């Protein structure tokens, strides 16, 4: 157990489930020293070593808490797959859900002053609340006072909506009886262009082309046919409208699909002639993939001179999702890289780095796919730093 008594002392920390080092970026910028990192992902370990000159341990289960050095802070964005909306929500049936216990194992023996942890917001409700109850009980029995805070980068003017829950764990013998004051802004103006590379800086490979561009242009033609203030939700399943299902086939469809098809009828009936002409013209490409025939318009009613290219676009399994261009959709580790409609291109790995508050000096991987996955899994550096900085100030350690 280590003891820190003045503001000038450099504290030591360990970075579990470290990924590409979001916590390391935050704590390093505050002058603290990482003595151990760990992640099972080979590419993350390579990135970590490339950026911090430190080779992470590859197996948290093999960390020996009895022989490791002392440290003041334990941090980690413990794996969220069992808890997230995108995962299968297996909770304790999934081995990854038990990785939280590795944090507890190390904390029981080393008793760091602080632990800063992060996970998806959904962890607060998954498993009928049993998961968060388990976490709270484990931390309490291990000797830590817990304060939780839900926060997103967009609260601080970063154009990404990414709500996460942060766990501020303070060893009970140093807990001063008051929670850390965290002033989360209600709203901060977002200057999207500050986070975007200039169009001339962007490599040609990021621009949408071929069949994808043709599909977006096709849908844009239909958007131009709608009247101002027209409501075009829910998801339009245009291929289903023209499949001519028999009654028997229709009855076998999933309930959600039938519900969407029925709700589509108001719009399709109103614009029947336009839809018929448009679909006949574009059906070859709309039928190429199921998602091409689905449009999720999540930007409100039709506006004057509206266009699909006024917004962010994602090619998702559920369809072509169109979202307001105020901030980027949440970065995820899957291949759903947002398309910046105004420039008809996907966002670049460097822009992903900016959305996660990594510095321009951060060295990217050579593979775009690896970069997208890593930033999709990372913690947001500025959010993490906000939590840590305010906690250390609260304890007169900064």
Q: Given this model, what pLDDT does residue 96 score?
A: 44
Compute CA distances 234 → 39, 167, 219, 263, 267, whole Å: 41, 36, 15, 7, 10
Backbone CA torsion sign across 59, 61, 64, 65: positive
pTM score, two decimals?
Answer: 0.84
**pLDDT, average across residues 137-155:** 96
5 pLDDT above the threshold of 60: no
Does residue 388 have a pLDDT over 90? yes
Angle CA 167–169–171, to nearest 5 = 175
Nearest to 378 by CA among 13, 18, 16: 18
What phi, psi does 71 have (nearest 5°)?
-155, 165
Quick one: pLDDT at residue 24?
A: 98
Question: What's the confidence (pLDDT) of residue 92?
Answer: 54
- Got the DSSP string for 233-290? -S-EEHHHHTS---HHHHHTS-HHHHHHHHHHHHHHHHTHHHHHHHHHHHHHHHTTSG
In the structure encoding, which two tokens stand for residue 13, read together?
């920390």
Q: What is the mean pLDDT of the chain?
A: 91
What does 152-195 look like in DSSP terms, one character per residue? -GGGGT-SB---EEEEEEEETTT--SSPPP----S-----GGGG
Sheet strand arrangement including 33-38 = 33-38, 12-16, 73-76, 114-120, 164-171, 144-151
Q: What percent of the chain has pLDDT over 70?
A: 92
pLDDT at 3: 44
Q: Which two tokens stand for residue 249?
A: 């086939």
Q: Which of 76-80, 206-210, 232-236 holds the top average pLDDT?
A: 206-210
Task: Report the side by side order of strands in the sheet with 339-340.
Answer: 236-237, 294-298, 319-323, 312-316, 339-340, 345-346
Contact 208, 345 (CB under 8 A): yes
Q: Give the phi and the psi of residue 116 in degrees, each rounded to 5.
A: -120, 115
Least trusted range by pLDDT, from 35-44, 47-56, 72-81, 282-291: 72-81
Q: Which residues are catalytic?
A: 80
Q: Structural domains in the chain? A: 12-187+367-394 (3.40.50.150), 198-347 (no CATH)
Please indicate whether residue 331 or residue 303 has the higher confidence score (pLDDT). Answer: 303
Q: How confident is the model at residue 89 (pLDDT cuts 50, 70, 90)?
A: very low
Which one is predicted more confidently, 160 or 71? 71
pLDDT band at 81, cuts 50/70/90? low
* Model confidence at 21: pLDDT above 90: yes
Neighbouring CB atoms inside 10 A of 346's CB total: 22
Percent of the chain with pLDDT over 90: 78
Q: What is the pLDDT of residues 101-119, one digit of tens each?
A: 999 999 999 999 999 999 9
Among the residue ranges 8-17, 177-186, 330-339, the one predicted with the least confidence is 330-339
Q: pLDDT digit string (tens) for 288-326?
A: 999 999 999 999 999 999 999 999 999 988 899 998 877
Query: What SS3 class is residue 216?
Result: helix
C-beta atoms surrounding 146 within 10 Å: 16
- Give the residue, 48 or 340, on which the prediction is more confident: 48
**Banded pLDDT at 75 (limits 50, 70, 90):** very high
Place 329 in a pLDDT band, splitting at 50, 70 and 90: low
């Amino acid at each position: 157990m280590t003891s820190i008594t003045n503001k000038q002392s450099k504290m030591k920390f360990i970075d579990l489930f470290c990924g590409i080092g979001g916590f390391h970026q935050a704590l390093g910028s505050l002058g603290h020293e990482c003595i151990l990192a760990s992640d099972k992902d080979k590419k993350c370990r390579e990135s970590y070593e490339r950026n911090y000159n430190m080779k992470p341990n590859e197996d948290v289960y093999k960390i020996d808490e009895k022989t490791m050095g002392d440290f003041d802070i334990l941090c980690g964005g413990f794996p969220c797959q069992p808890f997230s909306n995108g995962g299968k929500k297996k909770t304790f049936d999934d081995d990854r859900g038990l990785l939280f216990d590795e944090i507890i194992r190390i904390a029981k023996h080393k008793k760091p002053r602080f632990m800063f942890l992060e996970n998806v917001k959904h962890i607060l409700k998954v498993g009928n609340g049993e998961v968060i109850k388990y976490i709270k009980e484990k931390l309490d029995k291990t000797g830590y006072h817990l304060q939780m805070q839900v926060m997103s980068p967009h609260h601080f003017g970063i154009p990404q909506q990414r709500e996460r829950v942060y766990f501020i764990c303070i060893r009970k013998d140093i807990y001063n009886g008051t929670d850390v004051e965290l002033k989360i802004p209600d709203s901060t103006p977002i200057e999207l262009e500050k986070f975007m590379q200039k169009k001339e800086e962007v490599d040609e490979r990021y621009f949408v082309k071929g069949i994808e561009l043709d599909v977006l242009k096709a849908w844009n033609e239909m958007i131009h046919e709608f009247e101002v203030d027209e409501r075009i939700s829910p998801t339009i399943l245009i291929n289903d409208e023209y499949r001519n299902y028999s009654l028997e086939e229709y009855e076998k469809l999933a309930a959600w699909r039938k519900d969407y098809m029925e709700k589509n009828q108001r719009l399709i009936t109103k614009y029947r002639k336009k839809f018929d002409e448009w679909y006949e013209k574009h059906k070859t490409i709309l039928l190429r993939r199921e998602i091409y025939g689905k449009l999720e318009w999540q930007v409100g009613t039709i506006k004057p001179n509206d266009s699909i290219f006024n917004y962010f676009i994602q090619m998702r399994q559920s369809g072509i999702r169109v979202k307001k261009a105020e901030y980027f959709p949440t970065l995820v580790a899957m291949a759903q890289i947002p398309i910046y409609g105004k420039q008809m291109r996907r966002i670049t790995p460097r822009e992903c780095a900016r959305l996660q508050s990594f510095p321009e000096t951060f060295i990217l991987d050579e593979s775009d796919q690896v970069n997208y996955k890593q930033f999709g899994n990372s913690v947001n550096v500025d959010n993490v730093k906000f939590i840590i900085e305010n906690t250390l100030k609260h304890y007169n350690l900064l």
